[in-house]
Amino acid sequence: MTTPGSIPSMETSHDELKDNTIIIVLGASGDLAKKKTFPALFGLFRLGYLPRDVKIVGYARTKMDKAEYHKRATSYLKNPDNDPETTSAIEQFKEISTYVSGSYEDSESFAQLNSHLQEIESHYQSKEANRLFYLALPPSVFVPSAKNLKEQCYSPTGQNRIIVEKPFGKDLDSSRELLDSLKQYWTEDETFRIDHYLGKEMVKNILVLRFANVAMGAAWDKNHISNVQITFKEPFGTEGRGGYFDEFGIIRDILQNHLLQVLSILTMERPVSFSAEDIRDEKVKVLRSIPPIAREDTLLGQYIAANGKPGYLDDDTVPHNSVCPTFAATTLWIHNPRWEGVPFILKAGKALNEAKVEVRIQFKDVTQGIFKDIVRNELIIRIQPSEAVYLKMNTKTPGLITRAMPTEMDLTYKRRFTETKIPEAYEALILDALKGDHSNFVRNDELDVAWKIFTPILHWIEGRQGQLPRPVPYPYGSRGPKELDGFIQKYGFKRANDAYVWPVTNLAAL
């Protein structure tokens, strides 16, 4: 119950933060830990969102002393103006951070890690000792690390939780093998599979936009919506990381996880509550209504040299004859009463003309009669950069002549919420894991059905079905393949003839 003028909160099922907690970051010397995990932990630490007396322990193969570890762990913490308060906070963050080096396959190394943890816990006033293990690791060492953590470092007197980063396998079979292996040591309740898109502010906002607004929910179906596009664009190529990318490709890297998660939240039915299992039940239901992607519903591209930038095959780390797609557009269909016949187009690409992640919902044409060839309504949810929601709608041009023109109802976050800091996705998700809230993490059956949708098309791309498709070329810095416009128009998308442009062009400057 809320008092007049108060802001209602969403009820979720989780525990409060537990005191006597150690956060153990495996892979502490790697890029993911330095660029994402440690900055997120520092952000939570500075805001006072970590448990009282929390300690952070890094673990990796690299041998380094305390000073070197602290230098690496804080190398991506932002303090451009050498602000005294930030500098002081960084020094305090170092004080709660220690490091242990060891192998991921060797149980003796983990026994030494456990001895270090027990030494820290010996100073606790309570016998309770809670441990959160964050695996910022490549998938090749997921299973041995999970096994050794359970056998050597599992706290007998408190809560144990493990965060696992993607990729969760490469197809349906490898994903099931990985899930089965992890389940031998860690229960589903203890496991948190992280997809950082679920921690992004605008992705979490979709639930509120849909289910807290009658006006929005009334038009959220096949009777009103013509097509939906979910787009991911990066303005840079592989830049020397082509070896890793070539193994996975753009579909595994972006579509099968990040964009499919956005789609499931956009299309799920209203959950019974905001508890983790109620939300994830609805996501799984809608994903089960999606058949495997068809070849004819897929467009693949690979960037070539242009605008002074090298092509994908010019990267020395990429196999010289690779047909790995760096751009993909795939259309998914949901066979249920709400969405039957509505195309959901997922697009992602590297080396494009801008950095952007957005959802574009295009509504159907108005009834013909007094208006002809009028611009369609569109609802755009800008996930990044510069979070925004805007509705493209038609209104009368001011003056003595009656003429409709497209304009927008605009909610740009940096303009509307000027005093609010939007948390980083990893900050939100680590805090959820500390509280035991699974709402924004991927459940095992959800992962399984996601792979069922994408595995056939991935096997076709890899030539397992006898035919090896070649991606079409597109210039570095372009919008993508020239075939893209025809592809999305095939599914009913109509581009405005008047070349409508959202007037806020320099979002980053806001």
Tokens standing for residue 388: 């925004």
Q: Is 258 a catalytic residue?
A: yes
Exposure letters 347-360 (e unless 16+ CB within 10 A, then b): bbbbbbeeebbbbb
Distance CA 391, CA 389 (A): 7
Distance CA 100, CA 91 (A): 19
What Rg, from alpha-carbon coordinates, does the chain have? Answer: 24
Cα dist from 62 to 68, 100, 103, 109, whole Å: 11, 9, 9, 13
DSSP secondary-structure letter at 220? Answer: -
Distance CA 160, CA 433 (A): 11
Within 48-152, residue ranges assigned H as helices are 66-73, 84-95, 107-121, 142-152
Q: Where are the beta strands (DSSP E) in 124-224?
A: 130-135, 160-165, 191-194
Give Cβ neighbours of residue 266 (< 8 Å, ≥ 6 apart): 206, 210, 228, 230, 359
CA distance between the termini of the chain: 36
Q: Are 326 and 303 in contact (CB under 8 A)?
A: yes
Question: Which residue in 224, 258, 320, 438 is the catalytic one?
Answer: 258
Q: Are 188 and 436 in contact (CB under 8 A)?
A: no
Among candidate residues 477, 93, 164, 492, the one with its CA nearest the CA of residue 311: 477
Q: How many CA atoms lie within 13 A of 409 on its CB side?
A: 7
Q: Are 493 and 376 in contact (CB under 8 A)?
A: no
3-state secondary structure at position 257: helix
Q: How many CA atoms lie within 13 A of 483 on its CB side?
A: 15
Q: Are 381 and 209 in contact (CB under 8 A)?
A: yes
Q: How many CA atoms lie within 13 A of 260 on its CB side?
A: 30
3-state secondary structure at position 304: strand
Helix (H) or strand (E) holding 176: helix 172-183
Location of structure tokens 């940096």: 414
Helices and strands (H and E) in the chain: how many: 16, 15
Give phi and psi for 238, each to the nearest 5.
-75, -30
Beta bridge partners of residue 474, listed in sequence order:
303
Catalytic residue ranges: 258
